[in-house]
Amino acid sequence: MDEVYDLIIIGGGPAGLTAGIYAMRAKLNTLCIEKENEGGKIAEAGIVENYPGFDNIRGFELAQKFVEHAKKFNLNITHDTIKKIDTSDRPFKVIGENNTYTAKAIIIATGTKDKKLGLNEDDFVGRGVSYCTTCDAFFYLNKEVIVVGRGTPAVMSALNLKDIVKKVTVITDKEELRAAESIMMERLNSAENIEVITNAKPLKILGSDKAEGVLVSIDGEEKEIKADGIFISMGHIPNSEFLEGSGIELNKSGFVVVDKSCKTNIDGIFACGDIAGGVLQVSKAVGEGAVALASASKYLNSLK
C-alpha cells in the first residue's frame, strides 16, 4: 500500500483497541490490523467478575463493548495475517498475507494463543476436543467431560462447564491444582460435580472417529479416563512467531521485551497487553494500551 500511516496497531484485542481509541482521539492516522475477530481472547471467557465497572459480564459482551467503543471513534480496522515486520528502514513495513503496510510507528498487541498438549489432539479438534469452553460447552449438555490442564486456565474451564455438563473431571500433571484467585478454588472445591485427578500425565487422546477419553499415567500406571468431550486448558503462549528476524527483542518464552513505557529495543516500536507477558489480565492489557499509545505519540512528535 502507498499510504504511510502514523501508526499501525497489530492486534484488535483489549490492548490494541484501547491504543486505537486513544490514537483516534489524538488525531493520528492509524490502522489496526486484526487476524480474526476483534475483541481478543477475552471473548472466550465465561463470566468476567474482576474488570472494574462490571461486577458481572460475559467475556463476549465485554469484548463487543471494546469493539463498539473503538468503532465509535472510527478506528480503521482491517483483517490480515501479519507474516513479518521489516525494521531495516524507516518508515517500517508490516507485511501481511493480503498487503504490505507502511507506518512511522508500530504497536504490537497480538496477545497469546492456546498451548497444546503436544500429543495427538489435533486429530480430534472439532470431534470431541476443544480449547474453548464458552464456545463448545453446550454441545455437552448433561454429559461428562474432561478438562486437561494446569493452574488458573484449567480451574476456569471447569467452573465454566460445571453448570452445563453432568460431570467435570480435571486431569493435571501437577501435584496440586491451583488458581491465581482463592475465590476460584473455593468455587471449584464446593462444586459437587467436579473431580480433580492430580499427578496424571496425559499420554494420548483415545478414540477413532471422535475423542472418547484420555490415557494417562498415574504413578507409573496407565489408566483410561473416558468422557464425552475433552477440553484442553494448558495455558497460553505468545503470538510472536512473525517477529522472528525482525530485530525486536523477545524473552526465552517468546514474549516481547518492553520497558515500563511499553517501548521495545527498537525506537518507534512498542508492545502492550498479553504479548508483553506478565500478568495476563484484561485490565492490565487496557492500561498498557493507553501507555503504549502515549509513548508512540511522544515518539511521533519527536519526528516532527
CA count, 13 A, side-chain hemisphere, 224: 8
**Could you confirm whether 173 is annotated as catalytic?**
no
**Could you confirm whether 262 is annotated as catalytic?**
no
Q: How far is the C-alpha of 168 from the C-alpha of 103, rounded, in Å?
A: 48
220: left (phi over 0), alpha (psi -120 to 50) or beta: left
Q: Among the options 55, 89, 123, 135, which is catalytic?
A: 135
Residue (of 294, 233, 291, 289) closest to 10 by Cα position: 289
CA distances from 97 to 35, 84, 165, 221 (A): 10, 10, 40, 48
Q: Find the Cα–Cα–Cα–Cα dihedral 69, 37, 276, 17, rounded to 10°.
A: -10
Q: Among the options 2, 80, 114, 136, which is catalytic?
A: 136
Q: How far is the C-alpha of 230 from the C-alpha of 130, rounded, in Å?
A: 6
Q: Among the options 6, 55, 80, 132, which is catalytic?
A: 132
**Positions marked active-site:** 132, 135-136
